[in-house]
Structure 1
Amino acid sequence: MNKKELKRLIKIEERIQEIITDDLGLVCYPIEFDIVPAQKMLEIMAYHIPTNISNWKKGRDYERERTIYEHSSRGLPYEAVINANPAKAYLMRNNKFAVQCLVMAHVYGHVAFFANNKYFRNSRQDIIGIMYEASKRSLKYEHRFGMEEVEKTVDAGHALQHHSSPFVSNETNDEKRKRMFEQEKRKFHTKGGEFADLYGTSQKEINEDIELFNQKLWRQLKLKTPVEPTDDLLGYIIDNSVVLEDWQKDILEILRMEGQYYWPIIKTKYMNEGFATRVHEKVMNVLFEEELLKAEEHADYNYSNSLVKAENPNGLNPYLVGSGMWKDVEERWDKGQHGEEWENCTNAKKKKEWDTKEMRGWEKCKEVMEIYTDWFFVQDFLTPELVQELKIYVFEAKDKTTHIDYVITKDTAEDIKKKLVYAFSQSMIPKIDIVNGNYDEKGWLNLLHRWDGIDLEMKYAEETMRHMAYLWGRPIVLNTKEGKEKKVSLKISLGGMEKKTENDEEEKKDSAWWEAWWKMTPLKQTYLLPF
């Protein structure tokens, strides 16, 4: 890009900002744009945050992306954007001019989403600086304690960093104990509770029994760790491990914070990419209408935009599905195609022509953008018509002996929607709670997998437990299920991995604790980040 083009691009970027704020009514953080070569973009793809902690996985990812880029027809992303304040965006140097404009408008859409969606409110806006300082400390630890030791800690942290809820309670342990103490007292001190059968006993004796019960309950709560089951695996280990050194806790805290930083990005991927796509389409239309972009540049824009929204033969394209859903929301709320009257209308012709001139489509989009994740977005706004229009299908494998065919299932649009809602709610990360940090009074860590219909991949479960055992310094016990009925216990220690099922004689001897915890743990929704 020569100086003349750069000057023109800066002028158009100023106009894009005006369209974003004045025409679309969006609030953004300031954005710093860098135009980078392919090698720099490959580094960003591998490191995610340019100042990230050095680790062998980053080099592996870089070489993988470089090999794919150099030896296949797959290109590189047009851009990369980091959620920070100011936001940082990188544009590929070899993008054509119209594509650079598309990318800048797309970035503004992302940054507006970051700035306004409620799930990003706790994101560290100084993430680039934090990771820069952390990477410097990590290098010092390597020089002092050895690269191998640091790598082992980083690897273990990476294995657990997305089992770290960004919505950890601010309650102290004592506050949790007091809350649970009051809950248990109410449960047992009311009619029908533990003391309901003391008919004929004096009030004094009842009061004494109640006091003894309270004292016993409080002692149990004081000894219980964690006070209640927690899905913040890494946070609990950092706070309670007796083998971790301060430098290891420092690294793990950084990785935990990084995992929490990525949580809303993953949970809103389809919404975010779709919203940014709708924004760049609106902005580009204005730029062409005002002739800030030339007519001959329209072909470059159309071609690139079609690639962005192309159907993906291997899965859903978030740009296509997301933008299609946002477009549908905008059109429906412009025409008043929502609400009880609309839903109850059974006249197909009337529904097709329905238009109350409500014209609240874009306002509705902004309202939804502020409070939804992909899970709820699909639940509330993916219609059967959209499933057909966006060609969202479910495929299943058919073994043909010599090859495998993938054919479309006969699932209805409603079935497909349910499967999507389930997939977005799970995020492909198993729900694991620490239920006892002193299991069997030996300091072992007892985990419970809240089975939701999908069995654990035992290979990954074993490796993750090895990382946990390294950080905890003692054996780890994990309780899960295989299928609806078969209960399984995994234990990892210096002696290796042991697997027991409920049919094993050895497991039968201590199955009571499994049954107790399985019944006591509520199947509540948690927030775990995949990446």
Structure 2
Amino acid sequence: MEKRAKASSLLFSGSDWNFQTLSRTYDAIETVALDDLKLDVYPNQMEIISSEQMLDAYASIGMPLMYQHWSFGKHFIHEEHLYRKGRRGLAYELVINSNPCIVYLMEENTMALQALVTAHAAFGHNHFFKNNYLFQQWTDAGAILNYMEFAKTYIARCEERHGIAAVEQILDAAHALMDQAVFRYRRPPRLSSEKERDRIRERLEYEEQSFSDLWRTLPRRKESITPSEAEREAQERKKFLNLPEENLLYFLEKNSLILEPWQRELVRIVRIVAQYFYPQRQTKVMNEGCATFVHYTILNTLFDQGKVGEGTMLEVLQSHANVVFQPNFDDPRYSGLNPYALGFALMQDIERICMKPTSEDRDWFPDFAGNGDWRATLIDAWANHRDESFLRQYLSPALIRKFRLFVLADEPDDSHYKVASIHDERGYDKVRSAIANSYDVGANRPDIQVADVDLLGDRHLRLQHMVQNGVVLAEAGRQATLRHVRRLWGYNVSLAGVDAESGNQLYEVSADETAN
């Protein structure tokens, strides 16, 4: 009798599932997530998809609505080939930062996996998307789907009107510059598909009415000009154009003299997509760590409540162990720190420090060590940090020892590496600082800005790369990229590499030298 009662209290048994089972399990997971963990989430929209649909979602960078481009098809074929050959598995789920939050579940998943990924995506990722300050500042979850629908329709109309080749030429150039198409410090305007349509109509009407060869009729600068006058002119035009400008696509969209209105709109669409994904690049460890900790905690809570059986937990823990597996540095499978492993370990470590701190923990984390409220501590951390600041503030000596982290000194003049710091009393600070710096997307991305352009003169666009630690851009890559910039600008483009410390110019290359 007792066995029968226990079996009847389970949410499910076996690997098969149906929509009633999914709904019943979702409700139980939601109760733990909201009442116990105190998570705050967008409404969820759960969708079941096939493996081919998952591959398609991979190809279109995870968006349910996306414009067409040849690169997405190429990506689809590549991923499908690896999947069919058994060289790569597919994600169990995919989640969209939108309101409602869209969660894709693979129809091939067992019921145990459906429970795991529901907790992971529908509540872990969902809470992080809704509450982290970067996503609140830089994305609009309520408007992104409408905007992508607008973008898809707009680009399709452009293809009908101007031809696929003409559209692809602009998209190819814009895609090549996506890494240099984000604002890191300024907050972009909120998206609205209605406002977008009104804005485009007004822009088209204005440019059609006012367009003439305006720039050819403007007075030319005097041929003879003193150095002081030239410097004053340069300062004035930089101030007028808000230079230097870090967002290259934004500058080209607003100031290119050759782009037609529809081409500017294509550039803007690519720029907005790049900005939408920028917070995800800065929070990979935190986001995955949050979702993994949430699914682990919720499933264990349901097991303790007798709602999930031992067989289910064995399958869940096997999948969980695979996700958080971290190969050693000398393992052939090692490709860096696994964000799932590091993120999950950080969340568990914070829980430990809140509940059972050591004297070392109290020295390092006096603000929350032993406070007894790990839920509030984690929720606060998830809301107010990105990977770099989170690691700098919460990575403990205990975790540094557990992962056996160390720092390599990589000097360009040396023929071999040196171990500069290890996981000991003298090395903790240096190890923590080094790993935090490695997750600083802004510092690790090439700092390339629009430095100057004379719209009334030769219209030569001058870009500047601030070289950090002697790391210059690869020659082939910078030349290919300059060709894309020139395609959108229409006039000569040059890139100068300047040492960030000394200010000395290291190199300069012009698109004229690389143009086909």
TM-score between both structures, scaled by the size of structure 1 = 0.76
Aligned to 1:496: 514
Aligned to 1:315: 336
Cα distance in 1, alignment partners of residues 433 and 455 from structure 2: 38
User: Any residues of structure 2 matched to 1:133-282 within 5 Å, and which?
Assistant: 133-163=150-180, 164-165=182-183, 167-168=185-186, 220-221=235-236, 224-282=239-297
Aligned to 1:328: 349
Cα distance in 2, alignment partners of residues 6 and 275 from structure 1: 27
Aligned to 1:22: 35
Cα distance in 1, alignment partners of residues 262 and 128 from structure 2: 36
1:305-339 superposed Cα distances (whole Å, 9 cap, x missing partner): 11111114212111100010111122112345689
Residue pair 1:316, 1:392 contacting (<8 A) in 2 also: no
Cα distance in 1, alignment partners of residues 317 and 234 from structure 2: 69
**Which of 28, 39, 47 lines up with 1:34 in the alignment?**
47
Q: Is 1:444 the equivalent of 2:460?
A: yes
1:229-251 superposed Cα distances (whole Å, 9 cap, x missing partner): 11011111111111011111111
Aligned to 1:78: 92
1:413-469 superposed Cα distances (whole Å, 9 cap, x missing partner): 444433322221145421111121228942111111122112212222111111111
Residue pair 1:51, 1:128 contacting (<8 A) in 2 also: yes
Cα distance in 2, alignment partners of residues 380 and 105 from structure 1: 27
Structure 1 position 96, deviation (Å):
1.3
Structure 1 position 272, deviation (Å):
0.5
User: Any residues of structure 2 matched to 1:418-497 within 5 Å, and which?
Assistant: 418-426=433-441, 428-438=444-454, 441-453=457-469, 454-481=471-498, 487-496=505-514
Residue pair 1:96, 1:300 contacting (<8 A) in 2 also: no
Cα distance in 2, alignment partners of residues 369 and 251 from structure 1: 34
The verdict on how the C-alpha distance between 1:60 and 1:115 changes in structure 2, with shifts beyond 3 A counting, is same
Residue pair 2:16, 2:111 contacting (<8 A) in 1 also: no
Aligned to 1:381: 394
Aligned to 1:61: 75
Matched position secondary structure for 2:313: helix
The verdict on how the C-alpha distance between 1:123 and 1:426 changes in structure 2, with shifts beyond 3 A counting, is closer
Matched position secondary structure for 1:329: helix
Give the letter aligned to residue 161 of structure 1. M
Residue pair 2:48, 2:106 contacting (<8 A) in 1 also: yes
Cα distance in 1, alignment partners of residues 374 and 302 from structure 2: 22
Matched position secondary structure for 1:450: strand
Give the letter aligned to residue 492 of structure 2. P
Number of matched pairs: 438
Cα distance in 2, alignment partners of residues 77 and 165 from structure 1: 30
* Identical amino acids, percent of aligned pairs: 26
The verdict on how the C-alpha distance between 1:299 and 1:343 changes in structure 2, with shifts beyond 3 A counting, is closer
Matched position secondary structure for 2:467: coil
Structure 1 position 395, deviation (Å):
7.8
Structure 1 position 391, deviation (Å):
4.2
Structure 1 position 259, deviation (Å):
0.7
The verdict on how the C-alpha distance between 1:57 and 1:440 changes in structure 2, with shifts beyond 3 A counting, is same
Residue pair 1:308, 1:319 contacting (<8 A) in 2 also: yes
Give the letter aligned to residue 372 of structure 2. M
The verdict on how the C-alpha distance between 1:335 and 1:253 changes in structure 2, with shifts beyond 3 A counting, is same
Structure 1 position 140, deviation (Å):
1.5
Cα distance in 1, alignment partners of residues 240 and 379 from structure 2: 43
Matched position secondary structure for 1:242: coil
Cα distance in 1, alignment partners of residues 187 and 365 from structure 2: 42
Aligned to 2:376: 363
Cα distance in 2, alignment partners of residues 160 and 330 from structure 1: 41
Give the letter aligned to residue 268 of structure 1. T
Matched position secondary structure for 2:454: strand
Q: Is 1:6 the equivalent of 2:19?
A: yes
The verdict on how the C-alpha distance between 1:67 and 1:409 changes in structure 2, with shifts beyond 3 A counting, is farther
Aligned to 1:174: none
Give the letter aligned to residue 492 of structure 1. S
Residue pair 2:496, 2:506 contacting (<8 A) in 1 also: yes
Task: Report which stretch shifted further, 245-254 or 386-395.
Answer: 386-395
Structure 1 position 39, deviation (Å):
0.4
The verdict on how the C-alpha distance between 1:433 and 1:439 changes in structure 2, with shifts beyond 3 A counting, is farther
Structure 1 position 82, deviation (Å):
0.6
1:451-506 superposed Cα distances (whole Å, 9 cap, x missing partner): 211221222211111111110111112111489777334333345279xxxxxxxx
Cα distance in 2, alignment partners of residues 344 and 367 from structure 1: 15
Residue pair 2:493, 2:512 contacting (<8 A) in 1 also: no
The verdict on how the C-alpha distance between 1:103 and 1:344 changes in structure 2, with shifts beyond 3 A counting, is closer
**Which of 298, 316, 328 lines up with 2:313 in the alignment?**
298
Residue pair 1:161, 1:259 contacting (<8 A) in 2 also: yes
Residue pair 2:58, 2:76 contacting (<8 A) in 1 also: yes
Cα distance in 1, alignment partners of residues 30 and 233 from structure 2: 59
Cα distance in 2, alignment partners of residues 159 and 356 from structure 1: 46
Residue pair 1:106, 1:279 contacting (<8 A) in 2 also: yes
Provide structure 2 residue ranges, at least 5 long, that are not aligned to the other structure.
Answer: 1-13, 190-227, 328-333, 411-415
The verdict on how the C-alpha distance between 1:46 and 1:340 changes in structure 2, with shifts beyond 3 A counting, is closer
Cα distance in 1, alignment partners of residues 234 and 499 from structure 2: 36
Matched position secondary structure for 2:306: coil
Aligned CA RMSD, in angstroms, stands at 3.2
Residue pair 2:48, 2:107 contacting (<8 A) in 1 also: yes
Cα distance in 2, alignment partners of residues 356 and 129 from structure 1: 44
